[in-house]
Structure 1
């Protein structure tokens, strides 16, 4: 699969969840490919399931 056009290396996107999960997502792109996808908790509790995308705040 070819890399995504126009995506610089090191591009990072951080978005948060509002609502019941209070979590965040970090996306890192390297050479047009996804190199890191991380979800983290803002409450200190571990994230054990992927939060509902309806609550994602970009």
Structure 2
């Protein structure tokens, strides 16, 4: 595989990992606001930290 192919694959994997994490965090925030309004900020913050921590591990 050429340098461009490896670079493009790396860019697409990075973009996918960012988009998937963002969608998960926003969806938990929306669910928290709908079903647990008193705990929405806390649940979203804890979930965001957990997702970012899991995504940063290799």
Give the TM-score taking structure 1 as reference length.
0.25
Could you say which structure has the higher helix fraction? 2
Could you say which structure has the higher strand fraction? 1
Give the TM-score taking structure 2 as reference length.
0.25
